Amino acid sequence: MTVESSDLKQQKETHAFQTEARQILDLMIHSLYSNKEIFLRELISNASDACDKLRFEALADESLYGDQPELKIRVDFDKDAGTLSIRDTGIGMSREEIIDNIGTIARSGTRKFLESLTGDQKADTQLIGQFGVGFYSAFIVADRVTLISRRAGSDEAWRWESNGQGEFTLEPAEKADRGTEVILHLREEDKDFLDDFRLRDIIHRYSDHIGFPIEMRKRGEEDADDEWEVVNEARALWTLPKNEIKDEEYKEFYKHVSHDFSDPLLWSHNRVEGNQSYTTLLYVPEKAPFDLFLSRDEGRKGLKLYVRRVFIMDAAEQLLPMYLRFVRGVVDSDDLPLNVSREILQENKLVKSIRAGIIKRVLDMLAKLAKDDAEKYATFWNNFGEVLKEGIVEDISNQGKIAKLLRFASTHNSDDAQTVSLDDYLSRMKPEQEKIYYLTADSWQAAVNSPHLEAFRKKGIEVLLLTDRVDEWMMGYFREYEGKPFQSIAKGEVDLGKLEDEKDKAEREAREKAADDLPERIQQALEDKVSEVKVSHLLEDSPACLMLDEHEMAVHMQKLLQQAGHGMPASKPRLEINPLHPLLQRMKGLEDTAEFAEWAHLLFEQALLAEGGQLDDPAGFVRRMNRILLQLNRGEATDSGE
């Protein structure tokens, strides 16, 4: 910061933008020209937020209104000067607030924003709003922006100005009214925004249902002083009867609340009357927002709480469970006190019942979509399925409802599409089948090729293939569906129950016989690696596989945790062998203990690899394999020589 004279109060100061602010500005100026008009939406949205904030603060201190009770927004332009201004009578900003809010960007989202830029302008423009960098969008069309602001309750005003080139100036100013005025000095090529018709059109499209009046000068009276008219609908959309609202209006309102530039996937608008009355307008986005998977502690946005039309706060954390964090919209309560605080929200009974109502609405709306429009539902599932699955664990009281919404990849499908519902699965179960079989794995590839599937495939029994990260965790809490228990085919004692027929039983005996003393010998060789060696009756083509205890975490997840630095005591799996396999038959003939041990290790290691696990000693594995390959070669050479 450089100070140009000693008298601070009268001084014009120059500040440098923070690095990230500079990068954002650069982007605005140089890359975002595919959808320029969004700047107006962003600035009006800020003006509307400022009016909301004043109305809220004035609940506690009415004097903040001064002699100016009206909350409104004015859009004006001056063709000769080449300027466009957006003025509000909202909360305004103090000097510090100006520096904090628009001089620096300390928001955690900003860096993420810069990282997630794709280079595709259209997509990148759409990201801007989501990251709370809306104000800087002024620089898309302006080469200089002046902001003059006077905070409610203060008589000091400040003028901020910048050409978006790394610095801004700040100096005391005169301002008769409370609030903020943003003046854009438009670039030559963007002067076409200085047009009454064009501006009204943009306001209609983006800001019609902002709850405050947006005024422009009366038509044809640009010179007549102070003849203004309201150009937007200025009625909060959710307060209107459903049949008076067009789909287009619902979509625009969504863009306003969500800062998303795409249309929503679906919405649900409801008025509840009874013990308590409230209105909800809830949206499901079409695409996952950038921060959906951010750390769960990150403050959540997306659901605005109003009390009798007064905006109170963003209350997603109180009104939505984590697993519905993708939902956007507004809730307007008739019964909550206006001075409700975050603390009160945590405790409040009314809030709890609104929250339960919202959860029900969202789950019902999704169930209806799943029933009516499979394609749209697939879009939803592919974006948000992983998040919804958290609900199986977090919301036991709604587990049944959430379970109906789940979709899985399955051996019934020939590709990795997650389209199979649990009801689909039940409808295809064999008459004697008692369990819902599933397998978790690192990837769909790993799952479909897993040795565990061999017997199920042969008998035509469907197995669900679970490959999302949350799946292991979810299945730990998901015991049964419609009375049918889940069974991992890689854990515990897997049996086919009544699905096993006489032939299977006979084969099982044949296998035990063929195994002879192999299990004991292998066990001896692998003592420190496996808990037990058993004959498998489920392997067909593979020589061996690993089985875990019922409550053990799958091998590929263990690897993930280890890689993330969570040292886990490696649990010893059980090795199941297929004694009919030629490899095992060959092992039977190996007299030499050292050689036998070598083979046993190889058997274990390949089973571990097939499971997506990590070898303790990869180089050792390679050495062993090479040695055995060479021996085989020699063996065959001698065989033929005899």
Q: What is the DSSP letter of 491?
A: B
Q: State the nearest-atom distance from the C-beta of 39 to Mg ion, in Å.
A: 11
CA angle 559, 562, 565 (to 5 degrees): 155
Of residues 162 and 180, the one with the C-beta less far from ligand ADP = 180
* Partner whose binding site includes residue 50, from Mg ion, ligand ADP, none (CB under 5 to 8 Å by kind): ligand ADP
Near ligand ADP by CB under 6 A: residue from 13, 26, 83, 132: 132
What is residue 408's DSSP assignment? B
Return the number of the residue (50 or 214) whose C-beta is nearest ligand ADP: 50
Minimum Å distance from CB 42 to Mg ion?
6
Q: Which residues contact residue 590 at a Cβ distance below 8 angstroms, ignoring those fewer than 6 apart?
A: 596, 599
Nearest to ligand ADP of 39, 323 (CB atom): 39
By CB under 5 A, is residue 134 in contact with Mg ion? yes
Q: List all residues 6 or more positions away from 585 whose beta carbon is below 8 Å from its beta carbon.
A: 514, 579
- Output 185 or 508, the one with its CB closest to ligand ADP: 185
- Alpha-carbon span 44 to 205, nearest angstrom: 12
Do 268 and 280 meet the contact criterion of CB atoms below 8 Å apart? yes
Cβ contact 360:280 at 8 Å: no
Q: Which stretch binds ligand ADP (CB under 6 A): 32-40, 47-55, 216-224, 502-510?
A: 47-55
Q: Which long-range contacts (CB under 8 A, 24 or more apart) does 631-640 make?
A: 631/595
Nearer to Mg ion, 134 or 164 (CB): 134
Residue (68 or 101) nearer to Mg ion, CB: 101
Sheet strands side by side (includes 532-535): 532-535, 574-577, 544-547
Alpha helices by DSSP H, 292-348: 316-319, 342-347
Rule CB under 6 A: say whether 257 interacts with ligand ADP.
no
Which partner in ligand ADP, Mg ion, none is near 318 (CB below 5 to 8 A by kind)? none
Please count the residues of this chain forming the interface with ligand ADP, following the rule CB under 6 A: 17
- Residue 304 Cβ vs ligand ADP, minimum distance, rounded to whole Å: 13
Q: Of 21, 44, 47, 554, which lies in the binding site for ligand ADP, with binding defined by CB under 6 A?
A: 47
Q: How far apart (Å, rounded) are the C-alpha atoms in residues 512 and 578?
A: 10
Footprint of ligand ADP on residues 82-101 (CB under 6 A)?
A: 88, 90-93, 101
Which single residue brings its beta carbon nearest to ligand ADP? 134
The binder of 71, among ligand ADP, Mg ion, none, by C-beta within 5 to 8 A per type, is none
Using CB under 5 A, which of 17, 28, 39, 46 touches Mg ion?
A: 46
Kindly report the backbone phi and psi dihedral angles of residue 434, in degrees, each rounded to the nearest multiple of 5, phi listed first: -110, -15
180 binds Mg ion, rule: CB under 5 A: no
Select from 82, 103, 109, 134 the one that contacts ligand ADP (CB under 6 A): 134
Please, are residues 347 and 314 in contact by the beta-carbon 8 Å criterion?
Answer: no
Binding characters for ligand ADP, 145-184, by CB under 6 A (x = yes): -----------------------------------x----
Which residues have C-beta within 8 Å of that of residue 313, sequence separation ≥ 6?
A: 56, 304, 305, 342
User: Residue 486: which of 469, 464, 502 has the closest Cα?
Assistant: 464
Site stretch for ligand ADP (CB under 6 A), options 19-27, 41-49, 442-450, 620-628: 41-49
Q: According to CB under 6 A, which one of 40, 41, 42, 402 is a site residue for ligand ADP? A: 42
Distances (CA, A) of 225 to 196, 200, 449: 16, 19, 77
Binding-site partner at residue 91 among Mg ion, ligand ADP, none, CB < 5 to 8 Å by type? ligand ADP
- Distance CA(390)–CA(421), nearest Å, equals 17
In the complex, minimum distance from the CB of residue 53 to Mg ion, in angstroms, rounded to a whole number: 12
Task: Estimate the crossing angle of helix 121-130 against helix 108-116, to 10 degrees.
Answer: 170
Residues that bind ligand ADP (CB under 6 A): 42, 46-47, 49-50, 88, 90-93, 101-102, 132-135, 180
Residues that bind Mg ion (CB under 5 A): 46, 134
